[in-house]
Structure 1
Amino acid sequence: MTIAQIRRALKSSRKSLMKSFVPKNMGFKHVSREEIKTTHTRPLAQELFAASDQNKSIIVLDGTYIYIQKSSNFSFARRSYSMHKHRPLVKPMIVVSTTGYIISILGPYLADSKNSDANILKHIINQNTEDFKSWIQEGDVVVVDRGFRDASTVLEELGVTMQMPSFMRKGSTQHTSEESNKSRLVTKVTMCELLEQSATASDRL
């Protein structure tokens, strides 16, 4: 096959996936809040973060990496180079339930300093990507890592509770008991979600 034939085949496959597969299996419109609450929320997470209100949805957000080849386009090559990983990449934002069920994958975003996890979340909310602000409701819980700390204000404006590991206070040598316990709760929920994803991947293989 020639390069042109391969390009046409890939383009046709991509269009077919976007038309028939992706809308049914990815994005906030493919799954209801009720289904996430009843089918894809761990009892442990429900007990820890939403025991008093069964109407709350609990979701986990985290950015991940897709490594790419260095681009010949200088501007794109510069913005896709990660100073953290020391190689070119793009960053999708993954939204999952506490069982590891993938709700949506947003992006990908470029890897430069303008696209920290917090800035990506701000962009998603400000642009209302995939009608995010209609899906999430006041009182819902978003579990994140410390990279999202600068996005706390935009979530508070939506009435959403952010659950994030505690930061060490300036001048302190260790967390208080309350801060340590709060961090453990977040870690416990996110680790359960990662283990569930690994088990699901193993089952598929």
Structure 2
Amino acid sequence: MRLKILKKHRIFVPASSHFCAQHKDASWNDYQTPMYNYSKDQVEEMVDLLLNDENLPEIRATSDDEMRTCTGLSHAQFDILLSELPTLTATYKSKDIAKVVLMAFLKRMRTGHTYDQIRYSLDLSYKTVKKYINAARASLLSDFVPKHLGFGTFSREFLIANTTEMAKRLYTSQDDTLVTIWDGTYIYCNKSQNHELQRRTYSGQKCRNLVKPMVCVSSNGLYIDIFGPFEATQNDASIMKFVFDKHADPIMNKSKPGDV
């Protein structure tokens, strides 16, 4: 609202302002203040407001079912995820803008909608949607992933505690043995005009273009790490051989010398 007032009426409303019923019928001219009367902090606040000018809509109130359909998360889970991304909030200096940024990314991941479909649903420009999705991805990689994903994130004892009794009975007779499940999955992509890339991403099994991430989870479904993506021409066995060649003992987080 402050941004709309500034753009449409050329009137700056500081963040500390409030609306009262006593002056609701006053004209806009009654509130205009000459530029030379603004303080340094108010001018900086005005500049920040304009720099964040994205014509952003507010996320309308939706039920948890609608939220899950669009993002895969409930409102409470969405707020928790946002709180895990301080870089995103700091970049846009507004929690409301950060919400829309994260919403655009989650919609893209959940539904696979094109940038055009997302921009129409959020009333944004194509360029803005593209920038938001890249910003959300970068923030997740810097803030969220290192805290919640990777063998270095979990202790061996924690992962053993997440091993189900069924897995222990089937695969081991010792309580200190860790059981993990590895499976390659698919991320479908468009056919590339680059002939070499087209060949590397074409799966003869699925008859489609795709890349293959290798997912490692505990027996109760806890995501431990995700490797890749790998070429569509590689099978699970060759991918696992590559992973274990690169990481001598990923469970103990011991990498070969020179590994990044």
Range class of TM-score, shorter chain: 0.5 to 0.7
**Does structure 1 residue 117 correspond to structure 2 residue 236?**
yes
For 2:147, the equivalent position in structure 1 comes to 24
Structure showing greater Rg: 2
For 2:214, the equivalent position in structure 1 comes to 93
For 2:159, the equivalent position in structure 1 comes to 36
Q: Distance in 2 between matches of 1:23 and 1:74?
A: 35
Q: Kindly provide the CA deviation profile for residues 91-111 of structure 1, in whole angstroms up to 9, marking residues without a partner as x.
A: 111101111111111111010
Q: 1:96 to 1:133 in 2, by over 3 A?
A: closer
SS of residue matched to 2:175: coil
Q: Which amino acid aligns with 1:41?
A: T
SS of residue matched to 1:85: coil
User: Pairwise mapping of residues 53-68 of structure 1 onto structure 2 (< 5 A)?
Assistant: 53-68=174-189
The TM-score with structure 1 as length reference comes to: 0.59
SS of residue matched to 1:108: strand
SS of residue matched to 1:46: helix
Q: In terms of mean alpha carbon deviation, does 79-88 or 118-127 score higher?
A: 118-127
Task: Point out the structure with the larger strand share.
Answer: 1
Equivalent residues of 1:33, 1:135 under 8 A apart: no
SS of residue matched to 1:41: coil
Q: Distance in 1 between matches of 2:196 and 2:149?
A: 30
Q: In percent, how many aligned pairs have the same letter?
A: 37
The TM-score with structure 2 as length reference comes to: 0.47
Q: Which amino acid aligns with 1:132?
A: P
Q: Kindly provide the CA deviation profile for residues 62-82 of structure 1, in whole angstroms up to 9, marking residues without a partner as x.
A: 111111111222211111000
Q: CA deviation at 1:133?
A: 5.9
SS of residue matched to 2:151: coil
Q: Count residues in correspondence.
A: 131
User: Pairwise mapping of residues 1-205 of structure 1 onto structure 2 (< 5 A)?
Assistant: 1-38=124-161, 40-51=162-173, 53-112=174-233, 115-128=234-247, 132=250, 134-135=252-253
SS of residue matched to 1:6: helix
For 2:86, the equivalent position in structure 1 comes to none
Q: Distance in 2 between matches of 1:119 and 1:49?
A: 23
Q: CA deviation at 1:134?
A: 3.1
Q: Distance in 2 between matches of 1:2 and 1:98?
A: 43
Q: Distance in 1 between matches of 2:206 and 2:238?
A: 18
Q: CA deviation at 1:49?
A: 1.9
SS of residue matched to 1:15: helix
Over the aligned positions, Cα root-mean-square deviation in angstroms equals 2.0
Structure 1 unmatched runs, 5+: 137-205
Q: Distance in 2 between matches of 1:107 and 1:21?
A: 18
Structure 2 unmatched runs, 5+: 1-123, 255-260
For 2:5, the equivalent position in structure 1 comes to none
SS of residue matched to 2:237: helix
Q: Distance in 2 between matches of 1:20 and 1:100?
A: 22
Equivalent residues of 1:125, 1:133 under 8 A apart: no
Q: Which amino acid aligns with 1:97?
A: S
Q: Distance in 1 between matches of 2:193 and 2:130?
A: 18
Q: Which amino acid aligns with 2:170?
A: L
